[in-house]
Amino acid sequence: MTLADQLKLADRFIELWEALMPELAAPKRSVFLMWLGTYPEKTIARGINRAAAKSYKLHGTSNRMSADDAVRYAASVMRREATTVDADLRLDNSEDRPNSETFNGRRRTTAR
Protein backbone atom coordinates (compact mmCIF):
# COMPACT_ATOMS: atom_id res chain seq x y z
CA MET A 1 0.00 0.00 0.00
CA THR A 2 1.41 3.35 -1.00
CA LEU A 3 1.61 6.36 1.27
CA ALA A 4 -1.10 8.08 -0.77
CA ASP A 5 -3.37 5.05 -0.23
CA GLN A 6 -2.70 5.11 3.51
CA LEU A 7 -3.46 8.84 3.70
CA LYS A 8 -6.78 8.36 1.86
CA LEU A 9 -7.69 5.44 4.10
CA ALA A 10 -6.78 7.43 7.23
CA ASP A 11 -9.10 10.21 6.01
CA ARG A 12 -11.89 7.67 5.50
CA PHE A 13 -11.43 6.39 9.06
CA ILE A 14 -11.54 9.97 10.34
CA GLU A 15 -14.84 10.42 8.48
CA LEU A 16 -16.15 7.19 10.04
CA TRP A 17 -15.13 8.40 13.51
CA GLU A 18 -16.79 11.77 12.99
CA ALA A 19 -19.98 10.16 11.64
CA LEU A 20 -20.27 7.72 14.54
CA MET A 21 -19.05 9.99 17.34
CA PRO A 22 -19.63 13.62 16.30
CA GLU A 23 -19.48 14.76 19.93
CA LEU A 24 -15.92 13.39 20.34
CA ALA A 25 -13.00 14.92 18.50
CA ALA A 26 -11.30 12.48 16.15
CA PRO A 27 -7.67 11.72 16.93
CA LYS A 28 -4.96 13.18 14.73
CA ARG A 29 -4.34 11.63 11.35
CA SER A 30 -1.03 10.25 12.65
CA VAL A 31 -2.95 7.98 15.06
CA PHE A 32 -4.94 6.50 12.19
CA LEU A 33 -1.74 6.06 10.17
CA MET A 34 -0.13 4.27 13.10
CA TRP A 35 -3.16 1.97 13.37
CA LEU A 36 -2.97 1.31 9.61
CA GLY A 37 0.65 0.28 10.00
CA THR A 38 -0.27 -2.08 12.81
CA TYR A 39 -3.70 -3.58 12.12
CA PRO A 40 -5.80 -4.70 9.15
CA GLU A 41 -8.52 -2.31 7.95
CA LYS A 42 -11.35 -4.50 9.29
CA THR A 43 -9.79 -4.48 12.75
CA ILE A 44 -9.53 -0.68 12.76
CA ALA A 45 -13.13 -0.30 11.62
CA ARG A 46 -14.28 -2.74 14.31
CA GLY A 47 -12.35 -0.82 16.98
CA ILE A 48 -13.95 2.47 15.94
CA ASN A 49 -17.42 0.91 15.78
CA ARG A 50 -17.06 -0.71 19.21
CA ALA A 51 -15.84 2.58 20.72
CA ALA A 52 -18.85 4.35 19.19
CA ALA A 53 -21.21 1.74 20.62
CA LYS A 54 -19.71 2.11 24.08
CA SER A 55 -19.78 5.90 23.86
CA TYR A 56 -23.45 5.80 22.86
CA LYS A 57 -24.23 3.40 25.72
CA LEU A 58 -22.55 5.69 28.26
CA HIS A 59 -23.89 8.93 26.74
CA GLY A 60 -26.72 9.48 29.21
CA THR A 61 -24.73 8.49 32.29
CA SER A 62 -22.29 10.27 34.55
CA ASN A 63 -19.48 8.12 33.09
CA ARG A 64 -19.46 9.64 29.59
CA MET A 65 -16.45 8.85 27.45
CA SER A 66 -13.96 11.54 26.56
CA ALA A 67 -12.27 11.57 23.16
CA ASP A 68 -9.15 10.16 24.81
CA ASP A 69 -11.19 7.37 26.42
CA ALA A 70 -12.67 6.48 23.02
CA VAL A 71 -9.22 6.35 21.38
CA ARG A 72 -7.90 4.10 24.15
CA TYR A 73 -10.96 1.84 23.99
CA ALA A 74 -10.78 1.54 20.19
CA ALA A 75 -7.07 0.70 20.39
CA SER A 76 -7.71 -1.93 23.08
CA VAL A 77 -10.35 -3.57 20.88
CA MET A 78 -7.85 -3.64 17.99
CA ARG A 79 -5.10 -5.07 20.19
CA ARG A 80 -7.40 -7.73 21.63
CA GLU A 81 -8.63 -8.74 18.20
CA ALA A 82 -5.10 -8.88 16.79
CA THR A 83 -4.03 -11.06 19.73
CA THR A 84 -7.03 -13.35 19.21
CA VAL A 85 -6.31 -13.65 15.49
CA ASP A 86 -2.66 -14.47 16.24
CA ALA A 87 -3.73 -17.11 18.76
CA ASP A 88 -6.19 -18.61 16.26
CA LEU A 89 -3.45 -18.78 13.63
CA ARG A 90 -1.16 -20.55 16.09
CA LEU A 91 -3.92 -23.05 16.86
CA ASP A 92 -4.53 -23.64 13.15
CA ASN A 93 -0.82 -24.31 12.65
CA SER A 94 -0.65 -26.62 15.69
CA GLU A 95 -1.94 -29.51 13.57
CA ASP A 96 1.56 -29.73 12.15
CA ARG A 97 3.04 -30.22 15.62
CA PRO A 98 2.86 -33.22 17.91
CA ASN A 99 0.02 -33.28 20.43
CA SER A 100 1.14 -32.21 23.89
CA GLU A 101 -0.71 -33.06 27.08
CA THR A 102 -0.15 -32.13 30.69
CA PHE A 103 0.14 -34.99 33.15
CA ASN A 104 1.00 -34.44 36.83
CA GLY A 105 2.36 -30.97 36.09
CA ARG A 106 4.67 -32.21 33.32
CA ARG A 107 4.25 -31.66 29.63
CA ARG A 108 4.22 -34.89 27.71
CA THR A 109 4.33 -35.09 23.94
CA THR A 110 2.38 -37.89 22.33
CA ALA A 111 2.28 -39.02 18.74
CA ARG A 112 -0.91 -38.56 16.78
pLDDT in tens, 48-69: 999 999 999 998 888 999 999 9
Closest to 5 (Cα-Cα) out of 31, 36, 35, 34: 36
Predicted confidence band of residue 112 (pLDDT cuts 50, 70, 90) = very low
Cα three-residue angle 73-18-65, rounded to 5 degrees: 35
Nearest partner of 55 among 19, 20, 99, judged by Cα: 20
Q: Rounded to an integer, what distance in angstroms lies between the CA atom of residue 48 and that of residue 42?
A: 10
Sequence length of the chain is 112
* 84/75 Cα distance (integer angstroms): 14
pTM metric for this prediction: 0.74
